[in-house]
Amino acid sequence: MLRMSSKTQARTLAEQIADTIAYDIVTGQYKAGEKLSETELAEALSVSRGPIRDALVLLERNMLVTIKPRSFTMVNTLTVTELEHVFTFRQHVLGIASQYAAQNRTDADMERLRDGLERLQASIKEKASEYHTLAFPASQLWDLIIDASHSHVVRQGTLSFTGSNIWSNAVQRRIDGSQTQKFERQRSKMWSDLIKQIENQDEAKAFEAGSKLVRSNWLFLKKVFVELFPAT
């Protein structure tokens, strides 16, 4: 059954399905090496197979599953080391996207970025305690920075390792709400600094600020990943 809340309505059906399956993977309902059936998932979640296929693609982008074309989908065996590699890649992607955004951004881009920052700050002021609730406006800011980079190379480079905050949502219930709020207040300041560097068109500082954001995200989530996955 899909896990819905008032905050999930802005997410696509495929993203909501991916959230549900990812949570079942990281909590052990689906084991490493287990094959996932599109038909069985569709029946269990009361949806058609189309959004199930789209959800599985999102999960593969997040390394949670491997899709064998015209065959089956299998739950992956993940390690903390592999996950750190993913976040290291994301760290460089956002850094480069931020650098190019500082170089190429328009006034319209800046208006959208400031609006996105305001949405994130409003979520924090509402004292949202669920990590995924706060992750969504952060994901929107990520997308806006990619847009502001005006680089097809950057956009293509993000396709394999972004994936709609599936990881953030999957581990949300294992993170204490007070820790989430404290962390997001700190990250809000980092986002503010990043947007400032993009506005100032300081490419070096924008790269540094973007990289720092993803690194902080990894350090926050790592303690949860250590509980869920083997080290190597």
Average pLDDT over residues 41-47: 96
Of 47, 75, 103, the domain-final residue: 75
Number of domains into which the chain is organized: 2
Average pLDDT over residues 86-90: 86
Position 8 scores a pLDDT of 46
- Say what percent of the chain tops pLDDT 90: 49
Of 75, 96, 129, the domain-final residue: 75
Average pLDDT over residues 23-35: 91
**In this model, does residue 22 exceed pLDDT 70?**
yes
**In this model, does residue 168 exceed pLDDT 70?**
no
Position 6 scores a pLDDT of 43
Domain around 35: 11-75
Q: Are residues 144 and 59 in the same domain?
A: no
Position 157 scores a pLDDT of 75
Q: Each residue of 181-218: pLDDT tens digit?
A: 778 788 899 999 999 999 999 999 999 999 999 999 88
Q: Are residues 152 and 210 in the same domain?
A: yes
**In this model, does residue 4 exceed pLDDT 50?**
no
Q: Are residues 85 and 39 in the same domain?
A: no
Q: Each residue of 102-159: pLDDT tens digit?
A: 999 999 999 999 999 999 888 887 765 454 555 667 878 999 999 999 999 888 877 6
Q: Which of 86, 123, 108, 150 is nearest to 10 (CA)?
A: 123
Amino acid at 37: S
Per the domain annotation, does 1 fall within a domain? no
Say how far apart CA 174 and CA 180 lie, in whole Å: 11
Q: Are residues 92 and 30 in the same domain?
A: no
**In this model, does residue 101 exceed pLDDT 90?**
yes
Q: Which of 209, 170, 173, 208 is nearest to 83 (CA)?
A: 170
Position 79 scores a pLDDT of 86
Position 109 scores a pLDDT of 98
Position 206 scores a pLDDT of 98
Position 51 scores a pLDDT of 96
Q: In terms of C-beta density within 10 A (0-12 exposed, 13-18 middle, 19 or more buried), how is residue 168 classed?
A: buried
